[in-house]
């Protein structure tokens, strides 16, 4: 068995793991990334596309924001369609100038991978039989790579390996508690090289179910339909998808909609999931390994980014200043933000979707609530503040005291 030594072992090469690696590299902290999938698979995953301003700021600190600045689409508002009428929520006006940026998670991942390759930082892709061990005492990561056995001896392990990853699964059951809500529908998503139907996202509450008109660029669009969990992608031809989307839109948007062949089509189930705590000795969970939100609130990638902001600061504080305060507070700080984002995503999902179990009374109450929110400055401000992202402090790497 080959023995490797590093300060931080990062399990998972999605945006969370890559961003942590980039921030640690900028701080001069040694680390290794271990990923079970291939680099090509990781780079091709289609995921979220809305970045909060604090996430944009974090990518800037990591030095990987050039493509984001060149290709990202800043949005200062969103549209909500209900009862056949469009209502604009002016995010910037309601939050003191804050906005979101449309930039696909796939692009974020590619930017981080490119930066990592340029610096020739150590990553093991297609690692097999990955195991995390002794994380309450002397952490180790064991795996097989190209037919050889490896062991990484490290100070800390960062579990950034997603909902199905090995890190959370390795925690003793009596040390962890999980909270989960599974929704009785999914999102059928289509990616197509067609111009977006509108300059800003349109969230649709309709009698036929929820829809979302989103985008990845000025020439590539991402559309979603609420569908039963029993549906399969094969049930939905491109023509059927576009026809149903038109049925859920207002007449003006329907006329503007440009259709075309899909380049990706998938159905994603919706769930809310939280793990408490997010630290187990010298093992930290981050991103989807610790929590999942319904995509309605556009919080998944942004929550992963805030986890990494807290974790990277804690690790830099530990190595540069010799303080364990950030490490000890990591779980509590993350979970405060996680639960607020979970609440907002649950609320948006409840407000905009049709549930088969809801009575006509429930439906009328939901419409009244949405009418209140859209007709009230206080209501729209609450929505806008949560949508652009609740603030948290990003401690600049160069703000830490240099070790003497």
d(CA 242, CA 223): 9
d(CA 24, CA 162): 20
Quick check: is 387 catalytic?
A: yes
Quick check: is 330 catalytic?
A: no
Q: In what order do the strands lie in the sheet with 50-52?
A: 50-52, 100-102, 73-75
Q: Which of 31, 98, 291, 299 is catalytic?
A: 299
- Report yes or no: 29 and 154 within 8 Å, Cβ to Cβ: no
Quick check: is 228 catalytic?
A: no
Quick check: is 295 catalytic?
A: yes
Q: Which of 98, 139, 196, 203 is catalytic?
A: 203
- Report yes or no: 344 and 386 within 8 Å, Cβ to Cβ: yes
Q: Which of 15, 224, 295, 353 is catalytic?
A: 295
Name residue, tokens 């049930």. 235
Instruction: State the pairing for strand pair 77-82/202-205.
Output: parallel
Closest C-alpha to 25, from 56, 51, 61, 55 = 61
Quick check: is 350 catalytic?
A: no
Q: Which of 31, 75, 353, 366 is catalytic?
A: 75
d(CA 280, CA 388): 31
**Phi first, then psi: what are they for 281, rounded to 5°?**
65, -115
Q: Which of 103, 310, 319, 387 is catalytic?
A: 387
Catalytic positions:
75, 203, 295, 299, 387
């Amino acid at each position: 068995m080959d023995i490797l030594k590093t300060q931080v072992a990062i399990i998972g090469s999605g945006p969370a793991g890559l961003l942590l690696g980039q921030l640690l590299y900028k701080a001069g902290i040694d680390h290794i990334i271990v990923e079970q999938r291939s680099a090509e698979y990781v780079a091709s995953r289609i995921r979220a596309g809305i970045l909060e301003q604090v996430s944009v700021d974090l990518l800037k600190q990591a030095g990987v924001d050039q493509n984001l600045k060149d290709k990202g689409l800043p949005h200062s508002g969103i549209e909500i369609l209900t009862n056949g009428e469009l209502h604009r929520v002016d995010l910037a006006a309601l939050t003191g100038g804050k906005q979101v940026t449309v930039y696909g998670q796939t692009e974020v991942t590619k930017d981080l991978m490119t930066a990592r390759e340029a610096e020739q930082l150590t990553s093991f892709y297609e690692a097999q039989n990955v195991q995390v061990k002794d994380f309450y005492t002397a952490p180790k990561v064991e795996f097989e790579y190209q037919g050889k056995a490896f062991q990484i001896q490290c100070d800390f392990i960062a579990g950034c390996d997603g909902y199905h990853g090995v890190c959370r699964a390795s925690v003793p059951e009596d040390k962890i508690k999980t909270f989960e809500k599974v929704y009785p529908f999914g999102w059928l998503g289509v990616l197509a090289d067609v111009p977006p139907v509108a300059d800003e996202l349109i969230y649709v509450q309709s009698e036929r179910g929820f829809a979302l008109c989103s985008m990845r660029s000025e020439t590539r669009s991402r559309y979603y339909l609420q569908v039963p969990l029993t549906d399969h992608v094969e049930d939905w031809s491109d023509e059927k998808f576009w026809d149903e989307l038109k049925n859920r839109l207002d007449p003006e948007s329907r006329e503007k909609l440009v259709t075309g062949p899909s380049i990706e089509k998938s159905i994603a189930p919706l769930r809310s999931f939280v793990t408490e705590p997010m630290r187990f000795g010298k093992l930290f969970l981050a991103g989807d390994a610790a929590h999942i939100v319904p995509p309605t609130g556009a919080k998944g990638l942004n929550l992963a980014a805030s986890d990494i902001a807290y974790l990277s600061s804690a690790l830099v504080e530990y190595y540069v200043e010799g303080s364990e305060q950030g490490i000890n507070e990591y779980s509590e700080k993350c979970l405060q933000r996680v639960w607020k984002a979970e609440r907002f995503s649950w609320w948006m999902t409840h407000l905009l979707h049709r549930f088969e179990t809801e009575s006509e009374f429930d439906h009328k109450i939901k419409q009244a609530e949405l009418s209140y929110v859209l007709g009230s400055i206080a209501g729209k401000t609450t929505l806008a503040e949560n949508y652009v992202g609740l603030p948290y402090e990003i401690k600049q790497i160069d703000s830490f005291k240099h070790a003497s």
